Amino acid sequence: MTLQPTKAKYTGTVGEIAASLPGAAAIFKNFNIDFCCHGDVSLDEAAADRGIDVFMIEQALSTLKADDLPTPAKLSSGELTEYIQTRYHETHRREIAELIQLSRKVEAVHKDHPRAPAGLADVLRQMEGELEVHMKKEELILFPAMRWADTVLDAPISQMRHDHNDHALFLERLKGLTNEFTLPEDACRSWQALYSGLAKLADDLVEHIHIENNILFPRFEAR
């Protein structure tokens, strides 16, 4: 008997499912499904891309209860842009600055270690610069426009989506330099703190981009 691929019962794209079902984003992350920059595919397609039976993902999703967690999709655009600034923009600024210091220290102290993340601080500096320019554009131009009027903002949003794809490339570079934030057995406390901080930054940035791409921006794009 030939087994037919299971058809997903969750409709909409993975980006939409992550936006409307609290906790779905964490499940997609566990299955390595990109719901953030490439969230415009169905659950069936995403599962097929990863070589996973869609039924496994649906089982995990079915354990979620819609009211367990607060959801950004329920916030007004004014509330949501404020939330993004305080929860994500300010947090990235603070944490990247700390991670640059920490990576300089780890790179210097362990420069002869074969697994030392050589060049990490420089990549973080570039990432800090690009994120800062991007977040300033959102804070000074795009978010105020969203608070003033319920209007179509296709052109600036398309530029922001493009920037988000660049941020995702920075995350790939960070993972490449650190073997996906995997520590060597003899890693010191600073090295441990550096990689756990980087993993947190990566998780936060993916969540941040997801909320903008899949919840906030569609409210201001032409259908």
Q: At what angle do helices 120-137 and 154-177 cross, to 10 degrees?
A: 170
Q: Which is nearer to Fe ion, 159 or 179 (by Cβ)?
A: 159
212: contact with Fe ion by CB under 5 A? yes
The residues, ordered by sequence, that sit 6+ positions from 35 with a Cβ below 8 Å of its Cβ are 14, 15, 17, 18, 24, 25, 28, 46, 210, 214
> Contact letters (x/-) for Fe ion, 51-80, by CB under 5 A?
------------------------------
207: contact with Fe ion by CB under 5 A? no
The residues, ordered by sequence, that sit 6+ positions from 98 with a Cβ below 8 Å of its Cβ are 197
Q: What angle do CA 125, 197, 37 make, to 5 degrees?
A: 70
Q: Which is nearer to Fe ion, 31 or 83 (by Cβ)?
A: 83
Q: Which two tokens stand for residue 210?
A: 């997801």
The residues that bridge with 13 in the sheet, in sequence order, are 42
Binding region for Fe ion (CB under 5 A) out of 20-28, 68-76, 113-121, 210-218: 210-218
> Contact letters (x/-) for Fe ion, 126-165, by CB under 5 A?
------------x---------------------------
Query: Least distance to Fe ion from the beta carbon of 212, Å?
Result: 5
Query: Least distance to Fe ion from the beta carbon of 160, Å?
Result: 5
Query: Least distance to Fe ion from the beta carbon of 3, Å?
Result: 42
Q: What is the DSSP letter of 89?
A: I
Residues that bind Fe ion (CB under 5 A): 138, 212
